[in-house]
Structures are given as C-alpha cells and as structure tokens.
A and B are shown apart, each in its own frame.
Chain A
Amino acid sequence: MAAPATFVPITRAANPARDRSGLFDEKFLKTLEHLHMVSRKVFSGNLRAERRTRKVGSGIEFADHRTYSRGDDFRYIDWNLYGRLDKLLLRLFEEEEDLHIYILIDVSDSMAIGSPLPKLHYAMQVGAALTYVGLANLDRVSIIPFGDRLTDRLPLSRGKNRIFRVFDFLQKCPIGGKTELAECMKDFVTQNKRRGLAVVISDFYDPQGFEQGINTLRYYKFEPFVLQVYDVREASPKLHGDLALVDCETGETKEVTVSRSLLEAYEREHAKYCKELESYCTKYALPFFRTHTSIPFDELVLKIFRSGGFLR
C-alpha cells in the first residue's frame, strides 16, 4: 500500500522549506555559469543594453504610424504619406533602453509542499538562474517574493557580480502566508512605475483565481511571464481511506473517503485547473511554462531560453 508521500503533514515549526541554507551551493553556481554560456550562444549578436522595448520613442528603428494630434512635433510628420493620402500621420520609432526584469516568486505555504524538493526551493533556484542570466546580460533585475502581500524586495540590480546578494536575499527572505495574487500584483504595479518583464513563478493555487493578478500586470503594460510549478504527487496523489484533508494555507478541512474514482476525478480536476491557466496565457499571448519539481531546474531554464519567451 503506497504511502501518501505528497501529503506529509506540515506544521509551521517543521516546515522543511524554511531551511534554505544549502540551496545555492558551488554546484549550483557552476550550473548557472553553464546556463549563461549557453544563453550567449542562443542569443549571439545581441548587444548590451540593446533590448528593444515596446516603448515608442526617439529611436532610429521605425515602428509604426499614428494619427497626428495637436501639439505633436512637426518633425515626425510623414509628409510623403500626407501627399499620397492627404492625412497627417506621425512616424513612431522603437525606443532602445535597458530591460527591467522583475522576478516575482510565490513564497506562500502551498509552495512549501513537495518532496523531496519543496516547490519553493525549486522556484527560488529557477528564479536565481533567470536572475543570473539577466544580470550577466546587463539587464536590471529585481526579485520580489510574494504571498498574501509583497514581503520584501531586492532592488533593481545590474551586473553578474550581484548574484551573491541575490542568493543571500533568497535565503533570508521571509516566507509563508496565503496566496493572494491579485492584491500582490496590484501592490507591485503601484510600487514599480518602470515597465518591464514580470516573471511570475508560482503554483497559482489562489482561491480567488489567478486571472485578476495577471490582468493587473497586463493593464499596467508589464510583460507577464507565467511559470507554473507543481509537484508530481500533488497532481496524482496516492491516498486511500477516510481522511480529513486540511488546506495548508486556509486551514479549510474537507472530509473525504478516498476511492479510486475520487482520485481519478481529482487528477482530472487538477489537470483542468492547469489547463485553464495555460489557456488564459495562450489567449493573451503570454509566455507560459508549466513544470514539476522532478525536472532539473537548469533543464527548465534551457527550455525557456530555446523557446525565446524570456529574452528576445
């Protein structure tokens, strides 16, 4: 009879995710360096601080036209078009500037679950890897843990020599609490006026739903990058008998008699939930990745690089 390994009872005092001392060791650092080398091969030809943003400004690369409004600079009126179409249109150029990357890591109680590697540790390793690549590419990177609020933040940094501050921050930042994605994203957009790439690493187990939080990022012109992390045995639990299932965040209790049909129904429901998240991202053309903790984090990062969703 299989042991219910996924649902090891967790108490606040015995939370295995709290011990993060061995999370970023030398081996991890070497893996990061390897990832950086690979990323340079994948994106060879890109120059420092030459990430093109959607911001339309005073660059030299033509981007689009728009209708002239009173007060616009006459110098940007496309007179050729005026001659042909008899309409005043302004030429718009893509502005070239430093890319801002915000790594938003879910540190709620549900992320502490997972065996042998808690989801939180996995998320932090992936977040650190992405941070390192960003720093190495001279982008400005900030790390913002969140649960039911934004608990702390690592200010925007640049240069790969800042990676040890990143490790230190991730090892010491407070964790725990419920997942309130919408509230946290609202706070995030309020505190960060500078638009950029918002990488959200979470299990997206928010009773209020994930849509509102991601929509907030979209409305405020951030570029959401959705990375869902889950544990395999969380998706296919090996449970049996009469159980009282306790939500690790809300404390909500559900009494169930686990039968095979119930387990199958749960697996379907979990897959359906993940599919909902994926469909949402597809609908709004948001980069989306789903991974479980059994996949090595460097493999995931490479997969992200190859897909081109993280850096363009």
Chain B
Amino acid sequence: MSFLGPIGFGLWAYVALGAAALAVSAYIIKMRRRRFEVPFARLWQRVLEQKDANALWKHLKRLVSLLLILAILGILLFAALDPTLGAVDREARSVVILLDASASMKAMDGDEAGTKSRMDVAKQRAKQLIDSMGGGDVAMVMKVDGQATPMSRFSNDGPMLDQIIDDKIAASDTPADLPRALGAAADALRDRPHPLIVIISDGAFPESQLGHVEWGPPRAGAHANLAAIDLSNIDVRYLPVGRRSDNVGIIAFNVRRYIANKAAYEVYIEIQNFGQEPAHRQLTLYNGQTAVDTKRLDLAPGQHVRQIYPKIPGGEDNQLRATLRPVDGPGGTDSFALDDTAYALLPARKKQKVLMVTSDNLFLEGALLVYDNIDPLKVSPAEYAAKPSIADGMDVVIFDDYTPDALPPPPASLLFFHPTGEHSPFAIRGMAQTPHITEIDEGHPVMRWVTMSDVYMDKSEVFAPDPKKGESTLARSVTDPIIVAKRDGRRKILAFGFSLPANGRDSATDLPMRVAFPMLLVNTLDWFAGDQADLLTTYATGQRERVPLDGVVGATEAEVKGPDGTITHTPVLDGLATFYGQKVGYYDLTAKANGKAIASISLAANLASASESDIAPSSSLTLGGKQLEAPDAFAITHSQKLWIYLLLLATGLIVMEWVTYHRRITV
C-alpha cells in the first residue's frame, strides 16, 4: 500500500493528535445545558437515583460514543493520506501540458479512416495523462497557438482539467509559437517540485523556434543569450500525434494594383506539395464570386510553384480568393484543408470628382488627363467666386493661382498652387526669389518617387507651417518651406508656394516639364483618396501587425469584425491599428470617434506558413540539441484508491452515531 496524500506523515500525526485531543476534550468539557424551572426537583432526584444504579452502563455508553467519534476521525485522517493499493515509486510532480492548437493540428489524420483530427487525438492523449496522475501530482493545461494561453491553474482535479480540454481548446488557424509557450511553462514551473513539461504536438515547428533553449544554467555576461529559454532542471517530454504528410497548400497569396493603371492588378501565388507522392490540384482564382482563372497543377513531391497573374482587369469586387481542389484519382488526397484556400484584398479604388479652379492652365489639365481615376470639372476663378457651392460634393478642389475668400467645406481635399493673402490655408511669412529645393520629405506619400532637386522657379511664397496644427513641410529651400501639407480633420490640404506657368502670368517654373509633375499630382490625388500604393492588405495569421488607418484623428480603439462575424476591439496609436488574425478570411477594421465611424479598412488573413502546411508529423522533437523522450513517467499504474471506501465507512459511522445519540442510546 502506498500513501499518495499531499501531506507528510509528520504533519499528519500532528493533525491526528490535535483532532483526537479536540474530540476527547469535547467529551470531557462540561456541556452547557439549557435551564428550566420545575416545581418539585425532588421527584427528578428520585428518578435519577434509580437511574444512577446503571451508572456504569451509562458511562460505557458515553465511552462508546467517544470511541465512535475517534474512529470516524481516524478513518477520515487515514483517507486524507490517500492510501492506494499498488506501488508507485515516484514523487509528486508539477506538470505543464503544452497542447499544440496550431493550424496543422486540424489535419484529419488522427486515425487511419481520417475521421479524427490531430487535435482530437492530442486531447485524448492529454486526458490520458491527466487520468494517470498520482496523488500529489498537479497539472496545468496550456494552449499553444500563435499565443500561449494557460487554460487552468495547477490542479489535481482530473475531471475539471478534462472538461477544460474538451470544451475550451480547439485548433486555431495560426502557427504555433513554441518558444513563447516554453517560456511561459518554465516561468509557471519555477520553484515547483519535480517540474515536467509535456508537449503534445505534431512537431510542425520551424527550425528557428527549436534552438532558443538552454538546458544548463543561463550564461552570464557577454555570452548571455537573452532570447534563450531557461529549461534547466525541467524535464521536457514529447508526445507525437499525426500520421500522414499528404498536403498541397497555398503558402503565399497577395495582390497589388499597378501604379500607372490602377484599374488593373497582378496576383502572386505560391504553392507547395509537402507530400511524399506526386499531387494533382486544380487552382482557381476568384474575384468575388467570379472565377478569373483556373488551371491544373501537377506537383512533384516537395515541388514549389510560384504563379504570377499579370494585368488582370479590375472587377467590381475587391475580394480575391484562390482555392486548391484535389483532382480525382491518385495524388488527389489532402489531409489539411485550411491552406487550400487563400484570401486577398485589392486596395480600395474610388473615382474622385476633381474641381479645377483655373484660368486655362494647359499643364495642369494635361497632367490630370493622364490619370484615368478622376472625374474632372473646370471652372474659372470668377465663376467659382460667383458660386462657391459648386465645390459641394467634390472630392478634390484644385486652386490654381487663386485663393478663395473661404475654403470649401470638408470633406473636399484641397490643392493650392501659389496661395496668397490672408485667406491662404497656410500662413505666409515671405517671398523667396529663385529658390532651389534642397530638401524633401521622402517619407510623405506625396513625395514618393519624386525628385525635385534641380527644379527651377523664379519665386515662391514661403510658408510658416505650424507643427502644432499638424502642418508639415514636404519641400524646402534651405530653411524656407516651399511645399506644405496638413490634415484638416478627415480632409487633407496641400499647397505649393509657386504658381504653374500659364498665359498672363509672370512667374516661371520648369516643374510641369519634368516627370516629377504628373507623379506629384497622382501621388497627391492618391494621398487625398487614402490610397497608398505600398499598402498591404493581406497578412499572415498568428502575427501581430500595425495597420495604417487613413485619416484617423481622435480614435484610440478600432472595432475588428472577424471572418465568423465576431466583434473584437484593438488599440489604435498614431493612426496605426494593431491587427492579429486568429482565423483565415476577411476582416473589417473600423475606427470610431464619438460613436461615428471615421475610418475603415478591410484586410485578409491567410495561414501563409510553410512550416504549418508541412504537416508531416515528427516522431521526435529536438530542442536545443536535446532529443525529447516520451513521458514514461505517466505510464498508468493499476492502483486501487481506498479513500472513497473510507469516506463511505466514515459516513456510515457518522449516521450511526447520529442515530444513537438522538435516540439517547449513547447519551
């Protein structure tokens, strides 16, 4: 017989002695009785005198009651030692079960028939481990996907842990972050006796994750590896799951518009056969619900295919989807469906209404004509002055060498060439003669791919931008701001200090003759529209990204609507929202201020992980150069727990004592 209780014999003996002393003293201490007045106590005296003839028996009955109580106490304390029939020769352990819930655990190869997923088998293994825990063993269950999430505290409550595994753990769409999980487990096990980590996984971890482990004491000084996970004195075991490796998956999928022709786009797709056999698939590319292209792929084992679909004409829908479907016949099986579909989004494209307030400026009109994504309208300054409401409903208003008395109302963005006077949108502090642009803000979207170092201009207004109002300088001549921009709520305002050449003007610049001029206009209109050429809208799941939200002012939080319709919230800082894709599919991020949506963006999330798509199970796992063994310490011992029977016996004795006391037998 073994005793697996959580307390030692010494402490147990103290508790037993204390409890026995309490029980005996309870019998010795005089009972406080209720007082009642009677008319003639002599009668009771005579009765008691007769009863006292049986005093010995009475004392014996009290002794029987005391012995019953002591027996109950003894049985309960004995049960607390968790007496177990059958030998167990190990000490109590503290166990962290790392249950891999990454995307590859969705592979349906848990059994030969393909009816169970790896996750199902992993859960089954975890529950077997928990059921075989001995007395004193405590376990914590931790879910490992893109994050490491402890699902329980350390507990020896087997049914509770089993229920957590059944109800709260499911495979996600993200790769596993094993180093993070190992670090969290090591921290949880710090200073606990006999620490043990059991990894239940298919072993689909990138090599880069497996080297961050130090088994010995951490090195100090210059050789210290700050990223290393200290697993010294911790026993780490590995329980593999998974059977098959046949999988063809999309490991990269993205799309972008052409800079010159935003009506068209090109698609990049990367596919790999991770199986040991040749595979045949049908790849179909959808724009919305419309199939754009379909082709058959014949992939050799391990073959890696990159596909580019150039110059695909734009459709009404911005959502792109690529699917892989097995082809009937040999090489058409696939155990892992998650990477067979990938999603991408085209950056939003909107035709802008542009109002030009100009006196027949050929350079300006000509440059705008090359941009097919606008709907231009031209009026003269006199017409505009007579009817400013003409700007209502416009997305962009361009003032060419004309400064209106009042700015058009938002949300129209404004482009000024040579604003003057007190109505200028930017304060003017002087005039510069023959300025040379010496510095530009290359990080600003308007100045991207633009060179202005040798542009000639005979004169230019010099602005006095106020950074406190969000005004920034895009180009300056030594210290004189020549081109300035600012956000004014949701709209944007850009001003050039010089005017473009035109009939009747005495100013002169060669900017319209340069390549930079149409580029400047296109960049400006794209910036006004919030369209950034290098904006990525497709991300990998399980990674934290910062996504720009155009025009966000005053919002600290954005609402994220996931592929399954769930609503979560993410922080927004400096116009950048944090995005973490938990599932593959389309997401909508909406920033709100005062209850109104002020900016939104749609994003797509894909697994996009070759290591996760490579579902070939690994029967062994090597961490930090050490191959992990199976957790034989949890081999199930055939033991018979006695505490339940002892508890039943104690309950029976308590009932007997209660009955005999209340029937005044043991009183």
Residue positions of A touching B, CB distance < 8 A: 4, 7-10, 110, 113, 203, 205, 207, 231, 234, 237, 239, 241-250, 252-257, 259-262, 265-266, 269-270, 273
Does any Cβ of A come within 8 Å of B14's Cβ?
no
A110 to B41, CA, bound (A): 10
- Closest 10 pairs (CB-CB, A-B): A247-B41, A259-B664, A205-B40, A110-B39, A7-B36, A244-B33, A248-B37, A113-B39, A265-B47, A244-B35
Does any Cβ of A come within 8 Å of B51's Cβ?
yes
- B30-58 toward A: CB 8 Å interface, digit per residue (1/0)? 01011111111111111110110000000
- A259 B667 Cβ-Cβ under 8 A: yes
- A246 B35 Cβ-Cβ under 8 A: yes
- A9 B36 Cβ-Cβ under 8 A: yes
Interchain Cβ contacts under 8 Å between A and B, 26 examples: A4-B36, A7-B36, A7-B37, A7-B38, A9-B36, A9-B37, A203-B39, A205-B40, A241-B34, A242-B31, A242-B33, A242-B667, A245-B44, A246-B38, A247-B38, A247-B42, A249-B39, A250-B41, A252-B41, A256-B44, A257-B664, A260-B664, A266-B44, A269-B43, A269-B47, A270-B43
- B234-245 toward A: CB 8 Å interface, digit per residue (1/0)? 000000000000
- A246 B51 Cβ-Cβ under 8 A: no
A242 to B44, CA, bound (A): 14
A205 to B50, CA, bound (A): 20
- B39 A234 Cβ-Cβ under 8 A: yes
A257-B664, A259-B664 known; A245+B47 contact, CB < 8 A: no
CB-CB under 8 A from B44, the residues of chain A are 245, 254, 256, 266
A4, A203, A243: most-surrounded residue (chain B CB, <10 A): A243
CB-CB under 8 A from A273, the residues of chain B are 43
A257-B667, A269-B46 known; A9+B39 contact, CB < 8 A: no
How many cross-chain pairs have Cβ atoms below 8 Å apart between A and B? 88
- B456-485 toward A: CB 8 Å interface, digit per residue (1/0)? 000000000000000000000000000000
A257 to B51, CA, bound (A): 11
How far, in Å, is B576 (CB) from chain A's closest CB? 75
- B41 A254 Cβ-Cβ under 8 A: yes
CB-CB under 8 A from B45, the residues of chain A are 252, 254
How far, in Å, is B176 (CB) from chain A's closest CB? 66
How far, in Å, is B64 (CB) from chain A's closest CB? 15
A293 to B253, CA, bound (A): 105
Please, which residue of chain B has its CB at the minimum distance from the CB of A245? B38
Within 8 A of A (CB), among B118-172: none
CB-CB under 8 A from B47, the residues of chain A are 262, 265-266, 269
Set B39, B50, B667: member contacting A248, Cβ < 8 A: B39
A259 to B38, CA, bound (A): 17
A231 to B40, CA, bound (A): 12
- A10 B37 Cβ-Cβ under 8 A: yes
Please, which residue of chain A has its CB at the minimum distance from the CB of B38? A245
A12 to B47, CA, bound (A): 28
How far, in Å, is B517 (CB) from chain A's closest CB? 105
A231 to B45, CA, bound (A): 19
Within 8 A of A (CB), among B572-623: none
A259 to B31, CA, bound (A): 17
A266 to B48, CA, bound (A): 9
- A243 B51 Cβ-Cβ under 8 A: no
- B50 A243 Cβ-Cβ under 8 A: no
CB-CB under 8 A from A265, the residues of chain B are 47, 50-51
- B39 A205 Cβ-Cβ under 8 A: yes
- A248 B38 Cβ-Cβ under 8 A: yes
Please, which residue of chain A has its CB at the minimum distance from the CB of B44? A254
- B46 A242 Cβ-Cβ under 8 A: no
- B34 A110 Cβ-Cβ under 8 A: no
CB-CB under 8 A from B667, the residues of chain A are 242, 257, 259
CB-CB under 8 A from A237, the residues of chain B are 38
- A243 B33 Cβ-Cβ under 8 A: yes
A254-B48, A265-B51 known; A246+B43 contact, CB < 8 A: no
How far, in Å, is B26 (CB) from chain A's closest CB? 14
- B39 A246 Cβ-Cβ under 8 A: no
CB-CB under 8 A from B36, the residues of chain A are 4, 7, 9, 239, 243-246
A205-B40, A262-B51 known; A243+B46 contact, CB < 8 A: no
CB-CB under 8 A from B34, the residues of chain A are 241-244
Please, which residue of chain A has its CB at the minimum distance from the CB of B43? A269
- B664 A246 Cβ-Cβ under 8 A: no
A237 to B46, CA, bound (A): 16
How far, in Å, is B578 (CB) from chain A's closest CB? 69
Known: A7-B37, A10-B37. 11 other contacts (CB 8 A): A7-B38, A9-B36, A205-B39, A207-B42, A242-B31, A244-B33, A244-B34, A246-B41, A255-B33, A262-B47, A269-B47
- A246 B48 Cβ-Cβ under 8 A: no
Please, which residue of chain B has its CB at the minimum distance from the CB of A242? B33
- B37 A246 Cβ-Cβ under 8 A: yes
A259 to B665, CA, bound (A): 9
A9-B36, A262-B47, A269-B47 known; A245+B664 contact, CB < 8 A: no
CB-CB under 8 A from A113, the residues of chain B are 37-39
How far, in Å, is A100 (CB) from chain B's closest CB? 31
A265-B50, A266-B47 known; A9+B41 contact, CB < 8 A: no
A195 to B51, CA, bound (A): 46
A259-B664, A265-B51 known; A9+B35 contact, CB < 8 A: yes
A234 to B36, CA, bound (A): 12
Set B35, B39, B40, B48: member contacting A243, Cβ < 8 A: B35
How far, in Å, is B555 (CB) from chain A's closest CB? 70
How far, in Å, is B61 (CB) from chain A's closest CB? 11
CB-CB under 8 A from B46, the residues of chain A are 269
A218 to B43, CA, bound (A): 27
How far, in Å, is B531 (CB) from chain A's closest CB? 87
How far, in Å, is B130 (CB) from chain A's closest CB? 49
How far, in Å, is B657 (CB) from chain A's closest CB? 16
A7, A10, A203: most-surrounded residue (chain B CB, <10 A): A7
How far, in Å, is B94 (CB) from chain A's closest CB? 50
A165 to B431, CA, bound (A): 133
CB-CB under 8 A from B48, the residues of chain A are 254, 256
How far, in Å, is A16 (CB) from chain B's closest CB? 12
How far, in Å, is B12 (CB) from chain A's closest CB? 34
A252 to B50, CA, bound (A): 18
A73 to B34, CA, bound (A): 72
How far, in Å, is A61 (CB) from chain B's closest CB? 45
A248 to B37, CA, bound (A): 6
Please, which residue of chain A has its CB at the minimum distance from the CB of B58? A257
A10 to B36, CA, bound (A): 8
A265 to B54, CA, bound (A): 14
A8 to B37, CA, bound (A): 7
CB-CB under 8 A from B39, the residues of chain A are 110, 113, 203, 205, 231, 234, 247-249
How far, in Å, is A126 (CB) from chain B's closest CB? 18
A239 to B37, CA, bound (A): 12
How far, in Å, is B44 (CB) from chain A's closest CB? 5
How far, in Å, is A69 (CB) from chain B's closest CB? 48
Please, which residue of chain A has its CB at the minimum distance from the CB of B46? A269
How far, in Å, is A257 (CB) from chain B's closest CB? 5
CB-CB under 8 A from A270, the residues of chain B are 43
A243 to B46, CA, bound (A): 17
A126 to B194, CA, bound (A): 90
CB-CB under 8 A from A261, the residues of chain B are 664
CB-CB under 8 A from B42, the residues of chain A are 205, 207, 247
- B1-41 toward A: CB 8 Å interface, digit per residue (1/0)? 00000000000000000000000000000010111111111
A250 to B38, CA, bound (A): 10
CB-CB under 8 A from A246, the residues of chain B are 35-38, 41
- A245 B41 Cβ-Cβ under 8 A: yes
CB-CB under 8 A from A266, the residues of chain B are 43-44, 47
A261 to B35, CA, bound (A): 20
How far, in Å, is B514 (CB) from chain A's closest CB? 108
CB-CB under 8 A from A250, the residues of chain B are 41
A100 to B664, CA, bound (A): 55
CB-CB under 8 A from A205, the residues of chain B are 39-40, 42
CB-CB under 8 A from A7, the residues of chain B are 36-38
